[in-house]
Amino acid sequence: MPDQLPNSQTPAPAGAAALSSGSSAKPLQFQQLQSCANTSARLGRVTTPHGSFDTPAFMPVGTQGTVKGILPDQLRAAGAQILLANTYHLMLRPGSAVIAQLGDLHRVMAWEGPILTDSGGFQVFSLADLNRITDSGVIFKSHIDGSMVTLDAAKSMAVQNELGADIIMAFDQCPSADAPPEMHRTAVDRTIRWAEECLQSHQRPREQALFGIVQGGTDAQLRAECAAKLVAMDFDGYAMGGLAVGEGFDAMQRVLAEGVGHLPSDKPRYLMGVGYPRDIAMAVASGIDMFDCVLPTRNGRNGHAFTAGGPVRLRNSVHQRETGPIEAGCDCYACRNYSRGALRHFFFAGEMLGPILVSVHNIRFYQRLMADIRRVIGDGQFETFLREDPRCRLGGGVPMAGEETIAAADTVDD
């Protein structure tokens, strides 16, 4: 039933063997294979104990240990090589100890490849009903049963150690873009302090790579300070956090142009929670290697499909008798087997198949984009691609192809 894998993916045993045979005791290896002559874009490969993935890479989001409605075989067929799961949600339900008893997150997700878990910090600060934030951590009210829960750097590490992902994230504070400067200053101070505590608390440093997260809002000096202190701690990789939180495309571009250069070139760089194809293409040009976002699956469940010509809203009546696929030339299972008219019917009939198929298409759309980006970097054609490929202009707030704008969303329930 699933498509054949359209781009390279190293099986888990081969990736694990490559890692264990190396001289480094680190749980992650990053190899830069090629770079763009006139941008900071780079082609690479990350090897973990559960296999390798090619970069630039996009990680589908499986918040609660599953990418909603999508089988692992379908994810692999779409080209996904690494998945993301959410520490906050899994800590609350079913609990990291239960995940560990079930055989760790790879077993629960039936995913043999690499997995990344976030620290839980973003969800705590942006989504939970907060009680108190201090320099030590945060006490918040569970959205499940209303109980009070404490989360700090040590707890985040303990939970992620039990979950068993290949890449785990340091606990950080992520303010909104419009937060006052003093809040960003406080968030950076806490993020640095908690990063040190995460390193001290990390109990599986030879099995799980730990990434530090750079905060600082749109303040270039604050970002540089945060990056310098985190780089001095020698994390296995680094993330740019606190973006795609309302600052806008131009501000994000400026922050990346100014800030990515502060991160070491021999380690992977991850832009958290991004995003639209235009955001990804711009960030790749800035030197970013890894991305995640709920857009493909969340919008798929709501009948919004990504295409190179712009978003397609399948609930619109214009598609009722449309016999063509979501996107001509797309090789995903949905486009090879179903018409727009059939998909529209599934949505109005309340059938699960509609949201599943459009999510499969959207994931494949993103993975085709990443595969094409990797190809053109390797061919020395990335600048031309960035200038000419219409996908590099697909972004939030820009109506395209006569359709309504696809709205970005947070990661509350994906």
Which among 250, 262, 172, 187 has a CA at the least distance from the CA of 217?
187
Name all contacts of 8-12 with Cβ < 8 Å and 24+ positions apart: 8/54, 9/51, 9/52, 9/53, 9/54, 9/76, 9/79, 9/81, 9/113, 10/47, 10/51, 10/52, 10/53, 11/51, 11/112, 12/50, 12/51, 12/112, 12/113
Residue 324: CA count within 13 A, CB half-sphere: 8
Q: Write b or e for each residue in 364-400: b if 16 or more Cβ atoms lie within 10 A of its Cβ, otherwise e.
A: bbbbbbbbebbebbeeeebbebbeebebbbbbbeeeb
- Alpha carbon dihedral 280, 282, 288, 291, in 10-degree steps, equals -10
- Positive or negative CA dihedral for 192, 196, 197, 201? positive
Active site residues: 118, 292
Name every residue whose Cβ is closer than 8 Å to that of residue 390 and which is 6 or more positions away in sequence.
308, 309
Q: Running DSSP on this structure, what letter comes out for residue 393?
A: G
Instruction: Report CA 126 to chain centroid distance, whole Å.
Output: 17
Name every residue whose Cβ is closer than 8 Å to that of residue 350 and which is 6 or more positions away in sequence.
none
Name every residue whose Cβ is closer than 8 Å to that of residue 63 and which is 6 or more positions away in sequence.
85, 86, 89, 294, 411, 413, 414
DSSP states along 254-282: HHHHHHGGGS-TTS-EEETT---HHHHHH
Q: In whole angstroms, what is the distance from residue 170 CA to residue 229 CA?
A: 14
Residue 166 amino acid letter: D
Q: Write b or e for each residue in 245-282: b if 16 or more Cβ atoms lie within 10 A of its Cβ, otherwise e.
A: bebebeebbebbebbbebbeeebbbbbbbbbbbbbbbb
Backbone angles phi, psi at 33, to 5 degrees: -95, -35
Q: Where are the beta strands (DSSP E) in 327-388?
A: none
